[in-house]
Amino acid sequence: MAQFKEISPNASAGEKLGNWFNNRFPTAGAAFRDHMSEYYAPKNFNFWYFFGSLALLVLVIQIVTGIFLVMNYKPDAAKAFESVEYIMRDVPWGWLVRYMHSTGASAFFVVVYLHMYRGLIYGSYRKPRELVWIFGCAIFLALMAEAFMGYLLPWGQMSYWGAQVIINLFSAIPFIGPDLALLIRGDYVVGDATLNRFFSFHVIAVPLVLLGLVAAHILALHDVGSNNPDGVEIKGPNAPRDEQGHPLDGIPFHPYYSVHDIMGVSVFLMVFTAIIFFAPEFGGYFLEYNNFIPADPLKTPPHIAPVWYFTPFYSMLRAITTQMMQALSLILVAVVAFIFVRTRLPAMVKYAVAAAGLVGLVLFGAFSFTGVGPLSGLDPKFWGVVAMGGAVIILFFLPWLDNSLAKSIRYRPDWHKWVYAVFVANFLVLGYLGTQPPSPSGQLISQIGTLFYFGFFLLMPWWSRMGSFKPVPDRVTFAAH
């Protein structure tokens, strides 16, 4: 049994209450010290470091508003849309809770995308933070699943037909596709069984996974320490420390960064509330106009598109056509030829690469002129699903793809900054094209953008170490303000 700490009889009521609590729950005090008051973070954080705490704030908003929505929502295909209308029109402040939840979904992806971009430019995925990045990518994957399942729940036209399109994509997977799509739907068509399954996962299963991953993400981060804009380790074996062993280039997270984050939270909440009160649909990007129409299985909307935060990946899905597979076959032939002619690999390795390339050509359908049969290749729709999923999965491997001599973009060659700028612009263009109806020019741009997206990562082991790097300082650069 732990020894109780005594306190002066003349102490204030607040001090006595704190002492009483700490004597009975010392683990809470130890956790606060480990992760707040005695957790030393680099002193040179900038505004890019707001978005981690903002993501945590939005997660809390989504959980709290989701609880209140569930109190009045009915997961029934015949009543779901009406229950949402009831929440909006008759439940006191129901419209506010619903708009907070729908706007919060988009806000979640805004801050998460910015948070991931910060990790990308400052090398926060590099050693020793590989596991922190992997947990973060798993959070992103779980968040996408959570958003997709929640999108079906209003049971509007876009909810219904969006789910119909995405679930049918799983049927393109060889052998298990049709059974997998049936398992997800729970029926042969999107209906009441699908709604109940998605409701269960959206409200219970995925949030539990999400909370566990967030806890693991934070704990792993605090075990290895936070990165900083310079990419300099403040807690390394050679890092300068004071007499108490604290890093000289670090400051306690609380009160310095907890107060610092209040500014970011304040600005975020001003923008967040302005959108809720003045533009909750945000021009149809946050809440599509077709989703204010009840789901009708007999009437397909003229243009089906997912919510904006899925559209870059949707563009990649639509970019994969038969012509695209033929172009990829030519690229594969060029890569194999380059390995044979310009590399000094052992002959056995070269033959293995050639065999793998031949298998790839068969799977890509490069010999589809033969008609049906083993040489006809896999359905381009399947490769579209692979591209859409691979665009997320490839992020998990980023710590091993980047061979740059410097973590932070600050000390990399200047042309690296342009590569990252083009990557961001390309991602935004793909996102915009995903909201538009298909067109020949849009499809061509999507195909080029898809090739650049994957080329950015797959070629990173080579281009990331090219150029003249600037010297990385021994200590963080910081100017008091």
In Å, the largest CA–CA distance within the chain is: 93
How many of the other CB atoms lie within 10 Å of CB of 365? 21
Which pTM was predicted?
A: 0.92
pLDDT digits (tens, 9 = 90+) for 186-230: 888 899 999 999 999 999 999 999 999 999 999 999 999 999 999
Q: What is the pLDDT of residue 142?
A: 96
Domains and CATH numbers, the chain: 33-304 (1.20.810.10), 312-472 (no CATH)
How sure is the predictor about 72, in pLDDT bands with cuts at 50, 70 and 90?
A: very high
Q: What is the pLDDT of residue 481?
A: 58
How many of the other CB atoms lie within 10 Å of CB of 277? 11
Least confident window among 86-95, 276-285, 357-366, 380-389: 357-366
Span 256-280, average pLDDT:
94
Q: Is the pLDDT of residue 366 over 80?
A: no
Say which DSSP state 200 is in: H
Instruction: Please give the Cα distance from 280 to 154 (Å, whole number).
Output: 15
Say which DSSP state 6 is in: P
How sure is the predictor about 370, in pLDDT bands with cuts at 50, 70 and 90?
A: very low
Instruction: Please give the Cα distance from 153 to 160 (Å, whole number).
Output: 9
How sure is the predictor about 171, in pLDDT bands with cuts at 50, 70 and 90?
A: confident
How many of the other CB atoms lie within 10 Å of CB of 317? 24
Q: Facing residues of 251 across strands?
A: 41
Q: What is the pLDDT of residue 367?
A: 56
Q: Is residue 254 within 8 Å of 37, Cβ to Cβ? A: yes
Strands (E) located in 29-180: 40-42
Instruction: Please give the Cα distance from 190 to 80 (Å, whole number).
Output: 14
- Higher-scoring residue by pLDDT: 480, 140: 140
